[in-house]
């Protein structure tokens, strides 16, 4: 039996950078080390860091209650008011926002200065999108589905800048942009989908289309893992989403000749290797 492991599986550049930042702070940082939200959507990684003394703060209230220490901003980024809040309190901020997300912050800030309202194609409840909105100087809107795009209305001739959540599905982004483009607004569109996401999705689709079973490894709350699962499921009915090896319940069947494996951007290499090893032994 053949195992096809996606080359793009696992930590992306931004997540690796954020995790490395935490490790550096454990060694060199001052005072207690906190991350604002879990550093990655992966319980194993967060637990390991907790054992090294890193604590997760989840709310603005938690930040307001801080007296000392270092707060690390994760790859998703946060709105400007969080930077201001920590600065006003004199708490050290270490910014591990992925540079691709920072770029979106700069775009929306600049386009807002020029009077454009911001339309983000993505999930309004995702922290990355909340963070992007926190850098907008003008009104911002979020559209996630074709239906929402069809119903989207602003004043005739409105100046809009369209950006996307970095992990959004490229095809859906194009479809939504096409709908918005026909509404007669003065729009500029910037495809801010991260290339890591596109590459990962394309490779996952290719592997799943040739596989008899497909395993997608990643956190339950990881948006890019959920998208990978959707893409793979379309190509291969026999697709499993697992967080770690314990969740894997692959039905051994004679008809399985090729198992594909991919993983979301927040899945550590160690977990991917464990799953790969297990599949190899089992079949």
Per CB under 6 A, the segment of 8-16, 26-34, 150-158, 253-261 that binds ligand F3S is 8-16
Rounded CA separation 132/140 (Å): 9
Whichever of 34 and 168 has its CB closer to ligand F3S, that residue is: 168
* 13 interacts with ligand F3S by CB under 6 A: yes
* CB of 168 vs ligand F3S, minimal distance in Å: 11
| Strands of the 258-263 sheet, one edge to the other | 2-5, 258-263, 213-217, 239-242
Pairwise CA distance, residues 73 & 167, whole Å? 18
Window 188-227: residues binding ligand F3S (CB under 6 A): 194, 196-197
**Cross-strand partners of 213:** 259
Give catalytic status of residue 48 as yes or no.
Answer: no
Angle (CA) 75 79 81, round 5°: 135
State which of residues 75, 118, 213, 232 lies at the interface with ligand F3S (CB under 6 A).
75
Q: Is residue 176 within 8 Å of residue 187, measured between CB atoms?
A: no
- Closer to ligand F3S by Cβ: residue 101 or 236: 101
**Site residues (CB under 6 A) for ligand F3S, limited to 80-99:** 98
Binding flag, residue 261, ligand F3S (CB under 6 A) = no
46 binds ligand F3S (CB under 6 A): no
Instruction: With H, G, I as helix, E, B as strand and everything else as coil, classify residue 189.
Output: strand
Tokens representing residue 65 in the block: 């209650």
Q: Which residues bind ligand F3S (CB under 6 A)?
A: 12-15, 75, 98, 100-101, 166-167, 194, 196-197, 265
Question: Which residue numbers are catalytic?
Answer: 128
């Amino acid at each position: 039996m053949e195992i096809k492991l996606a080359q793009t599986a696992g930590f992306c550049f931004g997540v690796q950078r954020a995790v490395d930042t935490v490790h550096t702070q454990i060694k060199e940082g001052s005072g207690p080390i906190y991350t604002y939200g879990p550093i990655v959507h992966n319980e194993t990684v967060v637990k390991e860091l907790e054992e090294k003394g890193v604590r997760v703060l989840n709310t603005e209230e938690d930040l307001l209650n801080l007296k000392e220490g270092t707060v690390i901003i994760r790859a998703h980024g946060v709105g400007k008011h969080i930077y201001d809040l920590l600065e006003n309190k004199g708490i050290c901020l270490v910014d591990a926002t992925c540079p691709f997300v920072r770029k979106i912050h700069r775009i929306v800030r600049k386009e807002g200065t020029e009077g454009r309202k911001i339309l983000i194609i993505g999930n309004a409840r995702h922290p990355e999108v909340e963070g992007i909105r926190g850098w907008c100087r003008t009104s911002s809107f979020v559209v996630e589905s074709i239906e929402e795009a069809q119903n989207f209305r602003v004043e005739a001739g409105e100046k809009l800048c369209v950006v996307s959540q970095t992990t959004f599905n490229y095809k859906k982004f194009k479809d939504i942009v096409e709908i918005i483009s026909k509404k007669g607004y003065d729009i500029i569109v910037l495809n801010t989908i991260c290339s890591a996401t596109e590459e990962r999705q394309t490779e996952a689709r290719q592997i799943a289309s040739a596989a008899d079973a497909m395993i997608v490894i990643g956190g339950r709350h990881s948006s890019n893992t959920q998208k990978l699962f959707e893409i793979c499921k379309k190509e291969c009915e026999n697709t499993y989403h697992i967080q770690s090896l314990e969740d894997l319940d692959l039905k051994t069947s004679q008809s399985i000749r090729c198992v594909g494996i991919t993983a979301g951007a927040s899945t550590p290499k160690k977990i991917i290797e464990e799953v790969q090893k297990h599949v190899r032994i089992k079949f």
